[in-house]
Amino acid sequence: MGTTRVTVQNVPEIAGRFLRLYTGAVSDILDRNGYRNQVLPYYITPFTAANRVAGLAFTGQGYPCSDISHNDTEMRLKMLDSISPGTVSVWATAGSMDCAHWGEIMSTAVKQRGCTGAVVDGGVRDVDFVNALNYPVFAKFKCSASSVGRWDIVDWRVSIKIGHTVIHPDDFVFGDTDGVVIIPGDFTLDVLAAAEDMFNRERGMREELRRGVSVADAYATYRSL
């Protein structure tokens, strides 16, 4: 595979091409090229009606906090000022399970800055309000509790880890109803082209099967299963 990257200039086009595919095809291409830990854990799924997202990873890291008087608002505001268009906000929470790490206010703020969705290894709340924004949020669970005094934002645009997947700033994020896959930044365009080829071959194979062609003959023609 080559070493071509998505840029700020071409990210809308690249994201649009990914959104015409599905995560299974992209995961298969990554597997075939030795990248076997790029799918986020099974429990990270869309909690919103909008269930497809694509863009460059804007990574963030937070940690549980036991000081109920602590408030990370200043850090949160600095982080929001750092958001760039065409990104997906991806957060590692260090195992925090007792609060929501994402909600409607965060969704509104980052959407206004051109961030196309959120992927959170933690909780989400205000889902009805987020749905009204038509904004995709992938998360681990729902929880009404605020993160204030329970979890702090510590850093962003750093390498993070969710499950077995290491996510670097500007890796490419693609999510749909089946889950979320992370494409290493240097290989995004190569993976995309290969996944599009697979998608087109699968479409041809489906048409053949619907016409009654045997599986063996259709596979011999399209080499796709």
198 domain residue, yes or no: no
For residues 160-171, give the mean pLDDT: 98
Alpha-carbon distances of 214 from 45, 188, 204, 222, 223, rounded to whole Å: 35, 34, 13, 12, 13
**Could you list the residue range(s) of the whole structural domain that residue 141 is in?**
11-188
State the pLDDT confidence band at 9, using cuts at 50, 70 and 90: confident
> Is 56 in a helix, a strand, or coil?
strand
225 domain residue, yes or no: no
204 domain residue, yes or no: no
207 domain residue, yes or no: no
Could you tell me the pTM of the whole model? 0.91
**Strands, E assignment, 43-202:** 45-46, 53-64, 87-92, 100-102, 117-120, 123-124, 137-139, 141-142, 151-156, 160-162, 165-167, 172-176, 179-183
How many domains does one find in the chain?
Answer: 1
Contacts of 24 (CB under 8 A, 6+ apart): 178
Residue type, 206: R
Helices 11-19 and 188-210, packing angle to 10 deg: 30
pLDDT in tens, 38-87: 999 999 999 999 999 999 999 999 999 988 888 899 999 999 999 999 99
CATH number at 111 reads 3.50.30.40
pLDDT at 169: 97
